[in-house]
Amino acid sequence: MPVRIILICTLILCFCGSVAEAGMPSASIDLTEIAQLRLQSISFFLLLFLLSAWGLKKLWNMLARDFPKLPVITFKAALAGTFLWGLMFLFVLTMISGARELLTPGAWEKDGRTYRLTDSESEQETKAAAEALLKERRSKLAELRSALFMHVATHDGSYPAKIEDASFADEFWMQPGDLNVKYGYVPGEKQSDQVRPLAFEQAVYGDEQQLILFTDGAIKQVSLKAARETLSGK
């Protein structure tokens, strides 16, 4: 009976809401919003704790039916076991957190209930990722350059009239990334000494930069404004 009373009281604390009273203003003291949230959190934690202890008791006693050497436990014993189990997990998590701080001192800072990397570490990782992506972009455009020059060598010095007329696989036209975007192409006639844009990236990477492949084989990184001017012939 006491266990049922505790569970019922805890449920009432978890789910009871504020009651609007008609008539004259009430003189009762209301909790602040933060205090109400904390009270609800504590009540919900107590409910889960009691339910976990009840479940432990049921499972243990069910197991004890098949293993007579196991003693039958009471709800108080289940509460104690749940409490000790929680302390053990808290100790393990604290050790993990301490080891992480020792391996990377100052790299983590508290952010609410969790931790996140400090700005310096985040900036370094972002910069490294951007550099790796730029390297991959250059490498992929260089592969397209090789494929186009091979097409010119096998087609009497002529570039493809359009992307569909290229003699190589369509995958060479795909930019790196998950967006499945194709490179832009500036169609031309036969190869000549005049240097002009040949292929270019679509501006999908958000860094305000584009890579442009020229007919002399150069790959240049320019701003979006410069890219528009170059591709429009200005």
Tens of pLDDT along 140-155? 999 999 999 999 999 8
d(CA 10, CA 90): 24
Mean pLDDT over residues 55-83, rounded?
A: 90
Sign of CA dihedral 81, 84, 90, 95: negative
Confidence of residue 180 (pLDDT cuts 50, 70, 90): confident
User: Is 112's pLDDT higher than 90?
Assistant: no
How high does pLDDT run on average in the chain?
82
User: Is 176's pLDDT higher than 60?
Assistant: yes
Cβ(212)–Cβ(230) below 8 Å: yes
pLDDT at site 84: 92
d(CA 141, CA 143): 5
Cβ(198)–Cβ(182) below 8 Å: no
User: Is 20's pLDDT higher than 50?
Assistant: no
Mean pLDDT over residues 73-77, rounded?
A: 90
User: Is 108's pLDDT higher than 70?
Assistant: no
Sign of CA dihedral 213, 215, 217, 218: negative
pLDDT at site 183: 95
pLDDT at site 122: 63
Please state whether the predicted TM-score (pTM) of the whole model is above 0.85. Answer: no
